[in-house]
């Protein structure tokens, strides 16, 4: 194993970013996999590598203890109170990556929802010896619900099943059967050994029967849908920028494209205006696209403030004071019950909400919908919400930003629910 630092490539600027989440049960090898990706793609700094070698040598390990890299990260995370998902950046010559490492234990549903809601791809890790478990099924269901566009089934620990093709085929076939019922469009299965590095960054000689890409090759090549920039234009307004002679409405474009000269609709007023300019910190743009942060200048004097929305006049979002939504309940303190008062944070708007009713609960491993009176921690179900003011929203399946929201406890300010608007 080469560890020479001067081999570190000079990174060309990566031309695109892939956000991916890792999901697996405890001990399936997530930490080892992430460590292996960082190590073999030479994404570690000299001092991190040195520390790793030292610590592994002290323990008398022949192999580098790659999980230590992510465990270090987890220690950092544990100092925080509410952040359960650690994010890690790395890049290769071809692409930049942000990994959302979602811990496998206890609060896995909550963590996976947090980590995967913005992911372009989810890696579901399976231990080859155990095959598919209830957790693997849960992860696949959640990825489908959250509409993560791509999924990798990484069958890990292939070294412990003699790199056997039948084991891999058995697991992938079972997975395909299960996911046929889900809304998952793009699934790639890769046999790996995170510990030895087989098919993680480099292709493995131990599995000649597999002729697909290594995991990193796949991550580098997979197309990232230009998410957002394809949909209708939506700009949730964060604030108004005002200096003498200047007024721009600032925010991050949630979806679509906007160019000067185009007409936009302002919500809640329903007024329309023409775009004079789309500004950024680096100057004016010919066109702004999701997920850029911009300030929009309008031809007319409209009263625009935080929580409002500028959008395409043709296919405007719903202005809704009542919502039906799928909710993942994340609070260990109390179950979600009808009558509960909460805050709904939707894009840049926060409104008071009351739970008007609870519909079905999703039995996640069988995909059955069963009647429910309440939702406990980590349960997923359909609820009706009544809002004190409207939100401007799209169905989650059409727009992950304007279709998503979180529920917050009014007194503790804790995030207690992830909301996918129907
Ligand atoms: N033989 C073998 N062991 C592996 C492989 N990948 C991981 N392991 C071992 O499996 C154990 C668990 O690995 P981790 O990376 O800590 O697992 P994890 O999924 O991150 O577990 P948590 O951090 O507890 O969620 C460790 O002892 C690893 O060395 C592999 O490909 N082959």
What is the full DSSP assignment across 34-97?
A: HHHHHHHTT-S-HHHHHHHHHHHHHTT-SS--THHHHHHHHHHHHHSSS---EEEEEE-SS-EE
What is the pTM assigned to this prediction?
Answer: 0.79
Does 334 sit in the ligand 1 pocket, CB within 6 Å?
A: no
Tell me if 228-311 shares its fold with 318-421.
Answer: yes
Query: What CATH architecture is 318-421?
Result: Beta Barrel (2.40)
pLDDT at 11: 38
Does 403 sit in the ligand 1 pocket, CB within 6 Å?
A: no
Q: Which residues of the chain have pLDDT under 50?
A: 1-14, 76-83, 106
* Residue 30: closest CA among 77, 71, 84, 64: 71
pLDDT at 307: 96
Distance, C-alpha 86 to centroid of its chain: 12
The domains of the chain are located at 14-225, 228-311, 318-421
CB of 365 within 8 A of CB of 134? yes
pLDDT at 93: 87
What is the distance in A from the centroid of ligand 1 to the CA of 45?
A: 23
Fold topology of 228-311: Elongation Factor Tu (Ef-tu); domain 3 (2.40.30)
| Residue 69: φ, ψ to 5° | -60, -45
Give the 3-state secondary structure of residue 137: helix
Is 14-225 in CATH node 3.40.50.300?
Answer: yes
Read off the pLDDT of residues 216-268 as tens digits, 9 standing for 90 and up: 999 999 987 655 556 899 999 999 999 999 999 999 999 999 999 999 999 99
Does 29 sit in the ligand 1 pocket, CB within 6 Å?
A: yes
For ligand 1, pick from 32, 34, 125 the residue to mutate: most ligand atoms within 8 Å of CB. 32
CB of 328 within 8 A of CB of 110? yes
Instruction: Write down the ipTM of this complex.
Output: 0.97
């Amino acid at each position: 194993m080469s560890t020479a630092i001067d081999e570190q490539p000079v990174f060309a600027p990566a031309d695109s970013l892939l956000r991916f989440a890792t999901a697996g049960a405890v001990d399936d090898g997530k930490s080892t996999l992430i460590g292996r990706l960082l190590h073999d793609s030479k994404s570690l700094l000299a001092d991190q590598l040195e520390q790793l070698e030292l610590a592994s040598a002290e323990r008398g390990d022949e192999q580098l203890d790659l999980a230590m890299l992510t465990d270090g990260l987890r220690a950092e995370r544990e100092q925080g109170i509410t952040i359960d998902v650690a994010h890690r950046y790395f890049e290769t010559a071809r692409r930049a990556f942000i990994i959302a490492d979602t811990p496998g234990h206890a609060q896995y549903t909550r963590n996976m929802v947090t980590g995967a809601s913005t992911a372009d791809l989810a890696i579901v890790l399976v231990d080859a010896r155990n095959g598919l478990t209830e957790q693997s099924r849960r992860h696949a269901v959640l990825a489908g619900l959250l509409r993560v566009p791509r999924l990798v089934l990484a069958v890990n620990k292939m070294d412990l099943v003699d790199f056997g093709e039948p084991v891999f085929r058995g697991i992938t076939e079972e997975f395909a059967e299960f996911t046929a019922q889900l809304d998952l469009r793009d699934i790639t299965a890769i046999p790996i050994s995170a510990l030895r590095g087989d098919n993680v960054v480099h292709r493995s000689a131990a599995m000649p029967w597999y002729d697909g890409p290594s995991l990193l090759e796949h991550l580098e090549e997979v197309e990232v849908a230009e998410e957002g920039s394809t949909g209708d234009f939506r700009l949730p307004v964060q604030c108004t920028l005002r200096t003498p002679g200047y007024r721009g409405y600032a925010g991050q474009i949630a979806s679509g494209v906007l160019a000067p000269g185009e007409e936009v609709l302002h919500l809640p007023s329903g007024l329309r205006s023409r775009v004079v300019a789309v500004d950024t910190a680096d100057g004016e743009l010919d066109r702004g696209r999701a997920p850029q942060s911009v300030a929009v200048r309008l031809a007319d004097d409209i009263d625009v403030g935080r929580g409002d929305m500028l959008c395409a006049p043709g296919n405007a979002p719903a202005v809704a004071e009542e919502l039906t939504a799928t909710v993942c309940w994340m609070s260990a303190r109390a179950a979600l019950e009808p009558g509960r008062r909460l805050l709904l944070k939707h894009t840049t708007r926060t409104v008071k909400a009351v739970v008007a009713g609870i519909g079905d609960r999703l039995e996640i491993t069988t995909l059955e919908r069963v009647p429910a009176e309440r939702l406990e921690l980590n349960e997923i179900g359909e609820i009706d919400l009544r809002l004190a003011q409207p939100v401007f929203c799209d169905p989650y399946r059409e727009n992950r930003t304007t279709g998503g929201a979180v529920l917050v406890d009014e007194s503790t300010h804790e995030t207690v629910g992830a909301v996918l608007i129907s």
